Amino acid sequence: MRLWLWYKSYTSHMRFQFDARKSKRLRANPKRGIGFEDAQEIFSHPYYLDQRSDFPEQYPAIGWVGGRLYSLIFEVRHDSEGEYHHLVTLWKSTNEERKLYEEQT
């Protein structure tokens, strides 16, 4: 059974962690076009969330960054300061993902 969720959240209450070298590679890739620093904007607007796998728990989120729809995979992790979002990868949303996002709004 898949769990489909629609969230509205704000980055001021969220912490993020990611590999800076991977972010640089993503930004340089024309098929991606942005890095993880920019992708955090997804969480400042309403976004679509689904559970991708059980272990590790990875979540795809679909949302807006700079006027474009992007898809992002992240994991929820914990450290001594509490919960944070580890950003795994991102890409420009496909037509199927765009349709899914539009159906849920």
Domain chopping of the chain, boundaries: 4-103
Tell me the mean pLDDT in the region 21-25.
94
How many Å apart are CA 105 and CA 101, to the nearest integer? 7
Tell me the mean pLDDT in the region 48-57.
74
Tell me the mean pLDDT in the region 41-64.
84
Instruction: Tell me the pLDDT band of 12, cut-offs 50, 70 and 90.
Output: low
The pTM of the full predicted model, rounded to 2 decimals, is 0.82
Tell me the mean pLDDT in the region 8-13.
51
In this predicted structure, what is the pLDDT of residue 87? 96
How many Å apart are CA 65 and CA 42, to the nearest integer? 6
Q: Which CATH number fits domain 4-103: 1.25.40, 1.10.620, 1.10.1060, 3.30.2310?
A: 3.30.2310
Q: 60 preceded by cis ω (within 30°)? A: no
Instruction: Tell me the pLDDT band of 62, cut-offs 50, 70 and 90.
Output: very high
Question: How big is the chain by its Cα radius of gyration, in Å?
Answer: 13
User: Dihedral, CA atoms, 11, 50, 32, 82, nearest 10 degrees?
Assistant: 40
